[in-house]
Amino acid sequence: MDSIRIALVGCGGMGTRHMYGLKELTETPFCRVELGAVCDINPENGERAAGEVESLLGFRPP
């Protein structure tokens, strides 16, 4: 079955917690969710989140 691509909109405190939740989900055999992008109104938060995703999931989203 195809995976569902999602975007993380808002990369502050709660968005960061969602990133870690996604990391836990990707470690389960039934996860079909793929993070396609991160964005935040504050460009620094978006860049920081992209870097964290890269270290957590092994790729840097746009």
Q: What is the pLDDT of residues 17-60, one digit of tens each?
A: 999 998 888 888 888 888 899 999 999 999 999 999 999 889 99
User: Which pLDDT does position 8 carry in this prediction?
Assistant: 93
Specify the pTM: 0.81
Distance separating alpha carbons of residues 45 and 13, to the nearest angstrom: 10
Q: How far apart are CA 10 and CA 14, in angstroms?
A: 8
Delimit the domains of the chain by residue range.
4-57
